[in-house]
Chains A and B, each alone.
Chain A
Amino acid sequence: MTEYTDKIKEIAKRVLTEGKVEMVIGFREGSVPMMNQPHYATSAESVDELVWDCNCGLNLANYITDKKGNIGIIAKGCDSRNIVTHVIENKIKRDQLYIIGVPCTGMIDHQKINAMFDQEILTVEESGDKITITGNGFSKTMSKQELLTENCAVCTHRNPIEYDELAGDLVEEQKDVDPYASVTKVESMSADEKWNYFEDLLSPCIRCYACRNACPLCYCPTCFVDESRPQWVGKSQDPTDVRTFHLLRAYHCAGRCTDCGACERVCPMGIKIREFTKKLNKDCLELYGWEAGLSLDERPPLDTFKTDDPDEFIK
């Protein structure tokens, strides 16, 4: 991954020096294994902090919402789709951005990897398609493919959709993956089983709202759970209120979600939050043939009306 990092630095230095952008948003190395931190460089000198590896799973489109000025941003496939969505939704203008596209081979799942070992992990190193995990008295090398986050493992848009320049050669897109396997599983359950499945899924939730806040789609000035006049939803740990939050948040992402996995990655309780959004993604694909963030010129299905929109549910 050092090639990517070097190329990113070279491009970032150039666009900053040329005055094309005022800042370049990327990642810097974190203080614990598998945790890179979103960061920005404003001068050619500060560019050296930027890195790129398999721990850049957060979605950087989250950091450009309503920003003024010209911005450089490093974007893997999903980030670029969220940038497209941002542009469509008027959260930023395309000509404010210099997009440094990064063809992506997937990000590793720090929660899964931490859970694999009883002891603390001290270093995680990436070399080609191998990951070496080392701790006190153990070291294990595994294939990166096995360690990918669930959304990366089923991703079919690894290459950036929209970019000004690439930091590496385009990669082959994954075929023969079923992004909706877990949705299909839930669909086959009875109503009670479904209810209990989601009850169990959400039981650890502490309502920290990390899922909402890491999501580039969640940019409302005041979220509905934070409204107090009227107060739409209770603030306690009551299961109905917790479920209301997750269900409504998912609806707000309908036709907009790119399955970047940021919500799941940031959850301190390890909740599989994508179980909600994935169902809506599947419906959007089946009903409207739509996947979010693939084109700057097409309006999303939920803000357009077409005479051939499916309407079997209306009696």
Chain B
Amino acid sequence: MKNMLEHTGIEPGRLHFSWISSAESTKFVDVVTKITDEVKALDPANKKYVKTEPKVD
């Protein structure tokens, strides 16, 4: 899934997978902090993935 999204032009680093048990609260915080930092570092103005109003004639 990650490979395919990246293959079609989504930057690496936008999709993350992690396995966190409900007992691992610190791991959860660490992972989420890391993900937010990484995604924020990507071009924030890059809105091409987000559809607002449909672009039609």
A residues neighboring B (CB under 8 Å): 183, 186-187, 191-199, 234, 236-241, 243, 247, 250-251, 254, 276, 279-280, 283, 313-315
Contact = CB atoms under 8 A, between A and B. Distances in A.
B56 A314 contact: no
A196 B6 CA distance: 13
A191 B42 CA distance: 12
B54 A241 contact: yes
The 10 closest A-B pairs by CB, nearest first: A195-B9, A194-B9, A238-B54, A240-B51, A191-B11, A314-B17, A236-B54, A279-B7, A236-B56, A315-B18
Contacts of B5: 247
A8 to B, nearest CB: 39
Contacts of B18: 314-315
A247 B9 CA distance: 12
B14 to A, nearest CB: 10
A115 B41 CA distance: 46
B7 to A, nearest CB: 5
B51 A241 contact: yes
A315 B33 CA distance: 13
- Residue with the greatest number of chain B CB neighbours at <10 A, chosen from A234, A236, A314, A315: A315
State the majority secondary structure of interface residues on A. helix
Interface residues of B, number: 24
Contact of A195 (B1, B12, B48): B48
A196 B9 contact: yes
Contacts of A254: 4
A123 to B, nearest CB: 40
Contacts of B17: 313-315
18 contacts: A183-B7, A191-B6, A194-B9, A195-B8, A195-B10, A234-B54, A238-B55, A240-B49, A240-B51, A240-B54, A241-B51, A247-B4, A247-B8, A251-B1, A276-B8, A314-B17, A315-B16, A315-B31
Interface of B: 1-12, 16-19, 31, 48-49, 51, 54-57
A279 B57 CA distance: 32
B1 to A, nearest CB: 7
Nearest to B11: A191
A181 to B, nearest CB: 15
A283 B8 CA distance: 14
Contacts of A240: 49, 51, 54-55
Interface centre among B2, B4, B17, B48 (most CB of A within 10 A): B4
Contacts of B8: 194-195, 198, 243, 247, 276
A200 to B, nearest CB: 11
A255 to B, nearest CB: 12
Contacts of B49: 240
A280 B4 CA distance: 7
A311 to B, nearest CB: 9
Contacts of A314: 17-19
B26 to A, nearest CB: 15
A202 B2 CA distance: 21
